[in-house]
Amino acid sequence: MTNKVWFQGAIAIILTLIIIRLFIEVHAIFDPIFIIAQTIFVPLLLGGVLFYLTRPILYFLERRKFPKWAAVLSVILLIILAFYLFYAMIGPAVSKQVNTLVENAPGIIEDVEGYAQYLFDQRERLPASIEEQINELPSRIGELTAGLGSWVISFIGSFISGIVSLVLVPFFLIYLLIDHRKFVPFITKFFNGEKQMWIRKTLHDVDETLRHYIQGQLFVSFLVGIMLLIGYWIIGLEYALLLSLIGMLTNVIPFLGPYIAVAPAMLIALVQDPIMAVYVAIIMLVAQQIESNLITPNVMGNALDVHPLTVITLILAAGNIAGLWGIILAIPFYAVVKTIVTNLYARRREIQQAATKEV
């Protein structure tokens, strides 16, 4: 029975749960480790994303006989140049739109309150269930306003902490560019023969999965932002550049990103002209259809091959477990685990086929 797959899997799950339980029970011992992990998580993540984006450039320079230090230095200078050009091109316009939005915020809030008041006045003409929700609207708005101050303070603290963490990003990026080739030999040196080959192949497949996801997702998000910008400019939506930039950034969140991006655009459109909200919804729908049916299949191909229902389930579960970071990282984490499991299954089949031939 010990050779059965289901028995070995059950034992592995039980041991994993026991280890997790032990971590929870003796968390005081591991608190320093958790604090260090939380400190380096964001800069390491951002450094890893930049690494996968710039690694092709590094390899290109190395093929042109650049010394490693010169290739790494060139990559860092290109990143600085790219950020400077990006800021020089859209920074002033975005800053102007943000300042205008801040100045007009009281009027926008007043207009939104007017819409809410109108809806509140018409509650008796609506179904009982909707009327009940509208009656609770003032108290919910009061709770939201009361919690706004603490949220702002928390946001400022998180923002300052994030800025401090960003200082570490270049250091992680430089070390990844310099030493990334040493990782696989370091892991595989503890194994020999076919196991070493299998581990090398699995690590290569994981690396390819992450590369496809990071490069593809960011490129797709950039194209979605361009489509939104063109659409918003065509209909004459105010703050078009800022809203399309928000759409580009939120598109890295699978499934939920478009809904998050359309919310501020719909709000601005309603204040500007109610019919504009319909145009915004149409633009977002067209952009998402183009992205999901044309851009993503051609950019990412079948590298991840994750069913839409699986995506929704993973995002909902990860959001409840780890919040926003869980939502962002759920799909690549699942893709990596799937790659490892697929290689494990293939390896087991090879062993079984070899044993069958020997018999």
Q: Model confidence over 58-95: pLDDT tens digits?
A: 999 999 888 988 999 999 999 999 988 988 888 788 78
Supply the pTM of this predicted model.
0.73
How far apart are the C-alpha atoms of 283 and 183, rounded to whole Å? Answer: 45
pLDDT in tens, the chain (359 residues): 566 666 767 777 888 888 777 766 666 666 666 676 677 777 888 888 999 999 999 999 999 888 988 999 999 999 999 988 988 888 788 788 778 777 776 776 666 666 666 666 655 665 555 555 555 555 555 555 454 455 445 545 555 566 666 778 888 899 899 988 888 888 888 888 888 888 899 999 899 888 888 888 888 888 888 999 999 999 888 888 888 888 888 888 777 777 788 888 888 888 788 888 889 889 988 888 888 777 776 666 555 666 667 777 887 788 777 777 787 888 888 888 888 888 888 888 877 777 777 65
Nearest to 174 by CA among 76, 64, 44: 76
* Exposure on the CB side of residue 337, measured as CA atoms within 13 A: 8
Per-residue model confidence as pLDDT tens digits over 22-36: 766 666 666 666 676
State the burial class of residue 88 (Cβ atoms within 10 Å of its Cβ: 0-12, 13-18, 19+): exposed
Contact partners, residue 291, CB within 8 Å, separation at least 6: 220, 223, 224, 227, 251
* Residue given tokens 């004459």 in the structure block: 236
Measured N-to-C along each axis, helices 137-166 and 128-135 cross at an angle, to the nearest 10 degrees, of: 60
